[in-house]
Amino acid sequence: MVSKKITTLTGSAQTHSETSQSDISDNNFAALIPVGVSIIGGKDIQSVSGRNLHEFLKVGRDFTNWIKGRITQYGFIEGIDYVIVENLTSPKRASAKSRQQIERDYALSLNMGKEVSMVERNEQGKLARQYFIDCESRLRRVAPEEHQAALLTWRKNRVAACEDHKSMADAMKGYIERTGDKQHGFAYSNECTFLNRLVLGMHPPVWAKQKGIPTKQVRDHMNTDQLSLLAYLENRNCTLLDLDTQTATRKIKLTELAQRWLVKRVVTGHE
């Protein structure tokens, strides 16, 4: 799946200056280990990026071995304590690998984040754990208002996606009538599945299984950013269909549009 904030992180070999409670404000914490919301076990759960937390805790070994070791050692369960996500990294300047890369991350529930922080037994771990506790406390105070605002935003994007979906259905019907490209009777479902895969970053049935939801309810469980991208792609696809763009060419163009949209979000998120 594509996350709301995509970051480029350095390896654990980089040197760091020690950080204390006195020189880290809530804003600093929000930038270093931002707390977001992930769908874990079919529920919206406060979460933190495992890579961000690994960076903050100044762990002395690489991220992948560290997180897998903690999961095994303390019995964390995928779909309950964390979910695995795939993000686009920002291109590295003056590097042979200047193109964006797919990077695997772990979205950790705050409960898991607190435990992982505590077992590091250092000052950074204490600071992170207290920050997560503060985040949970704040959510309990303001959750009703924030939840209502978030729900309204989600509904707005879901309606927009539905409207573009209906327009695309009409455009697809016209395209099939003009070109005869019925794709063995699966043209419409193939188109929807392809767009869902671009948005989710994986095959929709796989994503649905990870979230514990029926495949037919994939779009009902997309977050606001995913719905925005979906509406954007379906809107552009209507134009391509009206121009009778062949399926193979259409998929290439839609993939490029999705990548540009995501890159723009990455750049905006770092400003």
DSSP code for 44: E
Element (H, E) at 27: helix 26-32
Strand 82-88 and strand 35-40: the pairing is unpaired
Q: Where are the beta strands (DSSP E) in the chain?
A: 35-40, 43-49, 82-88, 102-109
What's residue 153's pLDDT?
A: 59
* Distances in whole angstroms, Cα of residue 266 to Cα of each of 7, 118, 209, 214: 8, 31, 27, 30
Which pair of tokens denotes residue 177?
């009538």
pLDDT tens by residue, the chain, 271 residues: 333 333 322 222 232 333 444 444 455 777 788 888 888 887 778 899 999 999 999 988 899 999 999 999 999 999 999 999 877 665 555 555 556 677 889 999 999 999 999 998 899 989 988 888 888 777 766 555 555 555 555 566 555 555 656 677 888 888 888 898 888 778 778 888 888 888 888 888 888 887 777 877 777 777 778 888 888 888 888 888 888 999 899 899 999 988 888 877 766 554 4
* Whether this model's pTM surpasses 0.85: no
Give me the pLDDT at residue 216, please: 79
| DSSP bridge pairs for 227 | none
Name the nearest CA neighbour of 130 among 142, 140, 122, 118: 118
Residue 22: per-residue pLDDT: 41
Residue 18 gets which letter from DSSP?
Answer: -
Pairs from 56-60 (Cβ < 8 Å, separation ≥ 24): 56/32, 56/124, 56/128, 57/116, 57/117, 57/120, 57/122, 57/124, 57/125, 57/128, 58/12, 58/16, 58/122, 58/124, 59/12, 59/120, 60/12
Q: Which residue, 111, 100, 1, 124, is CA-closest to 52?
A: 124
Beta strands 102-109 and 82-88, pairing class: antiparallel
What is the spatial distance between Cα 119 and Cα 125, in angstroms, rounded to a whole number?
Answer: 8
pLDDT of residue 3: 38
Place of tokens 């003056």: 94
DSSP per-residue letters across 65-127: HHHHHHHHHHT--BTTTEEEEEEEPPPPTTSS--S--EEEEEEEEHHHHHHHHHHT-SHHHHH
